[in-house]
Structure 1
Amino acid sequence: MADSKPASMKKKAPIRLLNPASGYLTGYSYTLNPYTGCAFGCSYCYVRRMPIALFRNEPWGEWVDAKPLDEAQFRKEWHKALSKGEVTVFMSSATDPYQPAEFKEQVTRRVLEVMVEAPPAFVIVQTRSPLVERDIDLLQRLGAHVRVSMTVETDLESVRKELTPAAPPIAARLRALRSLREAGIAVQAAVSPLLPCSEAFPALLAEAAPRVVVDDFFRGDGSNGKRSAQLGMAERYGELGHGELYTPETADRFVDELKRHMPEGAVYFGQAGFMP
């Protein structure tokens, strides 16, 4: 699954798992991150410029802290949240809930097991990992209360290997999308952020997912492009020979092309596509 060395992994019990949503995720009640850190370590990840990454002595992508789940404690926290009103959850905002550590730790699966007992109004599961297929049984039980959002930023493996070398192959993600869809689970493809791709990418997405959300480096990094600039993404595009694509207009053109392949209301841009 990965082209780089495995991330070091520690366990650190959290005070709570549910955190009030804010900023880009205003519209959700809570965010839930089963892990701190992310072994996929994508070069463009906005979390690299957040305190959790900046003040860690290890490079982003080379460490992961699992949050061991005390089921009784989380069940109490969950029911307390439900008692206060409608609960909507974004999982996950600063990590991937199905990164390699989840194979063994199963924090995400155990969280979903508690949710199945008393479903929220809505939970979005944001991932780029085919491991999400393992939990089809739980996702089916959540029914209309869940959507799986699978990140697919390009259809070019050459680009994936340059910019997200430790992330799962594109073909595996597309297979997972189709598998989840066939199992009756609501899904979307998240082209977030749009990376250099082929002209066939819009048609490929339209075949794989009934709903697509697109984002870019300028409007989707939570800082109007400042974090992406600090990460040197414009320079990386130049090094790869795609410098002319590093503009907001690239994503705008891509959205227009997607709309030609998909039904009305199936294509979103930015924040609106991630909302409950």
Structure 2
Amino acid sequence: MQLDIKATQPKSILTATGGFLKGYSHSLNPYTGCAFACSYCYVRKLPVSIFRSQPWGTWVDMKQGAAELLRKELIRAKKKGPVTIFMSSSTDPYQPVEYEARITRSLLEVMTEEKPDFLFIQTRSPLVTRDMDLFLQLQDRIRISVTIETDLEAVRKQFTPSAPPIAARYRALRQLTEAGLPTQATVAPVLPSSEVFGAWLAQAAHRVCVDDYFMGDGNQGKRTRALGISKLYTEEQAGWYDPEAYLRVIATLKPYFDEDHILVSEQGFAPTL
């Protein structure tokens, strides 16, 4: 499928936040749209997607001049109080267009000079390891979260065929952890996984966040139901589309992680100051 990539000139880059991200002062999205096109993405039901004529996952807008905007807005925001940033809430900062556009990297370069109090990076892309040099400059103010919803590649293909392979994400997370960076494996949403999921994740990260459709889509699972996600589950997988399914994952984690390193939903995304 052809991806429609356009350049836009935003008037601002930092967005005041609340709700699920209530612990953050701002969210930061280098792009609008996301080529990973995850079937369960709650952004599909937000105005940015609903009022676009093109299907979600087929278009990406690049925010030109983002670094210059961020520098100005960070300086202003820091005068008013602590600045805690979630990157990103409605796109993946390391989706394929970032390989050449490097907008995310330009934003990080600004943040190494005008440091926020805390930066949380959420991605499912192995490209994240490219910016380790900048992460290390923010080491005491950052957490890098890599989404690994399952350890079964067939399940990944079933639900997110355009997203990076599970093994590549796993290697990236392990590399970041071994570099001494604050990391997190994020199981979000909970998808069917194997009984060795917890043992496997423990080799790549020291901390895990487990989130699901019912806790994490911002509307008690209603947005997910509207997407018809339940239809993607086979008859054998039906038990995984359930508000209690996350407990199955936690059970596989408990033998391998300290109790305070297994976090659920909002706990795992909260800023650490």
Residue 89 of structure 2 is aligned to residue 93 of structure 1: yes
Residue 226 of structure 2 is aligned to residue 243 of structure 1: no
Task: Tell me how far apart the structure 2 counterparts of residues 250 and 206 of structure 1 sit (CA, whole Å).
Answer: 20
Q: Which residue of 2 aligns with 1:210?
A: 206
Task: Tell me how far apart the structure 2 counterparts of residues 183 and 33 of structure 1 sit (CA, whole Å).
Answer: 26
Structure 1 segment 46-195 matched on structure 2, within 5 A? 46-195=42-191
Shift of 1:174: 0.6
Task: Tell me how far apart the structure 1 counterparts of residues 88 and 129 of structure 2 sit (CA, whole Å).
Answer: 17
User: Compared with structure 1, are the counterparts of its residues 256 and 200 closer, same or farther at alpha carbon in structure 2 (3 Å cutoff)?
Assistant: closer
Instruction: Please tell me the residue identity of whatever aligns with 1:255.
Output: I
Task: Tell me how far apart the structure 1 counterparts of residues 246 and 208 of structure 2 sit (CA, whole Å).
Answer: 13
Shift of 1:6: 4.8
Deviant stretches of 4+, over 6 Å: none
Instruction: Identify unmatched segments of 5+ residues in structure 1.
Output: none
CA contact (8 A) 2:123 2:145 kept: yes
- Cα deviation, 1:163-202, whole Å, max 9, x if unaligned, reads 1011000000010011111222110001010111111111
Shift of 1:245: 1.8
User: Compared with structure 1, are the counterparts of its residues 70 and 123 closer, same or farther at alpha carbon in structure 2 (3 Å cutoff)?
Assistant: closer
Q: Which residue of 2 aligns with 1:269?
A: 264
Q: Which residue of 2 aligns with 1:19?
A: 15
Shift of 1:260: 2.2
Cα RMSD of the aligned pairs, angstroms, is 1.1
Shift of 1:255: 1.4
CA contact (8 A) 2:148 2:187 kept: yes
- Cα deviation, 1:94-144, whole Å, max 9, x if unaligned, reads 000000010111110000000000211100000000101110000001111
Shift of 1:59: 0.4
CA contact (8 A) 1:155 1:170 kept: yes
Task: Tell me how far apart the structure 1 counterparts of residues 98 and 218 of structure 2 sit (CA, whole Å).
Answer: 27
CA contact (8 A) 1:255 1:269 kept: no
Number of residue equivalences: 271
Task: Tell me how far apart the structure 2 counterparts of residues 196 and 122 of structure 1 sit (CA, whole Å).
Answer: 33
Task: Tell me how far apart the structure 1 counterparts of residues 190 and 141 of structure 2 sit (CA, whole Å).
Answer: 27
User: Compared with structure 1, are the counterparts of its residues 196 and 13 closer, same or farther at alpha carbon in structure 2 (3 Å cutoff)?
Assistant: same
Q: Which residue of 2 aligns with 1:255?
A: 250
- Cα deviation, 1:4-23, whole Å, max 9, x if unaligned, reads x3521001111111000111
Task: Tell me how far apart the structure 1 counterparts of residues 127 and 266 of structure 2 sit (CA, whole Å).
Answer: 25
Q: Secondary structure at the match of 1:198?
A: coil
Q: Secondary structure at the match of 1:248?
A: coil
CA contact (8 A) 2:195 2:252 kept: no
Residue 3 of structure 2 is aligned to residue 7 of structure 1: yes
Q: Secondary structure at the match of 2:106?
A: helix
1:196 to 175, 192, 208: 192
User: Compared with structure 1, are the counterparts of its residues 101 and 21 closer, same or farther at alpha carbon in structure 2 (3 Å cutoff)?
Assistant: same
Residue 55 of structure 2 is aligned to residue 28 of structure 1: no
TM-score, normalised with respect to structure 2:
0.96
CA contact (8 A) 1:69 1:110 kept: no
CA contact (8 A) 2:38 2:159 kept: yes
User: Compared with structure 1, are the counterparts of its residues 70 and 229 closer, same or farther at alpha carbon in structure 2 (3 Å cutoff)?
Assistant: closer
CA contact (8 A) 1:151 1:191 kept: yes
Shift of 1:229: 0.5
Instruction: Please tell me the residue identity of whatever aligns with 1:219.
Output: M
